[in-house]
Amino acid sequence: MYYKKIPLIYLINNFKYKNKKILYETILNIEEYLKYGIINLDKPSNPSSHEVVSWIRKILRCEKTGHSGTLDPKVTGVLLVCLNRATRLVKSQQESGKEYVCVCKFHSKPKSIEEVKLVLNNFQGAIFQRPPLICAVKRQLRVRTIYDSKLLDYDETNNVCVFWVKCQAGTYIRTLCEHIGLLLGVGAHMQELRRVKSGNMTEYDNMCTLHDILDAQYIYDTTGDESYLRKIITPLEKLLINFPRIVIKDSAVNAICYGAKLTIPGVLRFDNNIDVNTEIVIMTTKGEAVALAIAQMTSTVIATVDHGVVSLTKRVIMDRDTYDVKWGFGNRSMEKKKLILAGLLDKYGKPNEKTPLSWIKSEGYAPKLIGTNTTNYNLDIQNHNTVNENNNNNKIEKNNLTTSTINTNINDQISEGNKNQNENAEKSDSSDLKKKKKRKT
């Protein structure tokens, strides 16, 4: 089939690599395709976004579905539906920018087209908005940003204009139309609205309808032909092509899936535009998205250092144990396990009084000392040794004190016992004498 020639290349394309290891592409089976897939749906008018998503879940028999940004029932256009594991990207896609094409109806005729264009240009940047009465949210004043807008068409006879707007997520176009009518002094309301772009997915990127999804699933169930399902479902990596990327080793993938931090030894390649505290995508050599993370180093720092934390895992996408467990098999880990078994480290792997000096001097045990002066490093080691010696001396002194106190306590108890015996003997003698005197009398 034709789809077997299509690799998973969304995160591999347009990526400048750092080292020379060759990346290889992979083809997912249909179960994995559904597990990590998204659908660019052309939402119909009248049903709500929640209803549409629930219908798709029943048609495809998915465990979970979610959408990236609610559309009102009368609004049509791009609605990204995430399937199964792809629902972990819903929150990041809900905050991405949106683009709309709106039909605005004026209540009376404006003065000129130039005035309409001028008012549209004035609504660029940060604006105040209050949600309309029709929306089922708290009507609270909020700030939203409009990045760009353009008048597409104007009908003077019907007092209708069509304009395009690029705005922040959560912007109410219905409220924007009312504000445009207020500034023009003629009044206006929104007549029709269509979303043409959500994030980096447009209405030209593999868009499908509910009927297409139903037909594709029916063909797969009856004939086993999965080509139609592959046409309507897109891998979730398509949503992440705008993020900076880091390619990691296969041995580090499962650790990231368990929430571990990404360190320098696990990095193979990386983008040149990574800054501190920016959101990045961690990917495998096959182009599979592993997790979203927050960068802790810039690209230049990653290229120069040989140790340290590269990123903190924010949201894991891949299932656990998809790759084999590879942590705990290195030279350092094996040596640490031997020391724990020998009693030279405690059960948590921390040093005790028996820990050898060579282990304490190593970089793996004392990362805070790396990069400091050698004099400070030697002083810290000497302090460690003196502390251990003092602890041993204190223990010996404590043992001597405890033995001496025990001996004194025993002697005191013996002397007290002798005194008590003498007193009891004297009392018994006096009582016998009294009894004899009474008998004589």
Biggest CA–CA distance in the chain, Å, is 150
The one-character DSSP state at 116 is: H
CB atoms within 10 A of CB 299: 17
HSE at residue 21, side-chain half, CA atoms within 13 A, is 14
The residues that bridge with 102 in the sheet, in sequence order, are: 163, 193
Instruction: Give the Cα separation of 101 and 176 in Å (integer).
Output: 13
Which one of the listed residues 72, 148, 275, 412 is annotated catalytic? Answer: 72
Per DSSP bridges, beta strands 37-43 and 207-208 are: parallel
**How far from each other are the two terminal CA atoms of the chain, in whole angstroms?**
134
Q: How does DSSP assign 172-233, residue by residue?
A: -HHHHHHHHHHHHTS-EEEEEEEEEEETTEETTSSEE-HHHHHHHHHHHHHH---HHHHHHE
Instruction: Give the Cα separation of 107 and 100 in Å (integer).
Output: 22
Q: Which of 296, 208, 280, 213 is nearest to 248 (CA)?
A: 280
Residue 432 known to be catalytic:
no
| Distance of alpha carbon 433 from the chain centroid | 96
Q: Which residues are catalytic?
A: 72
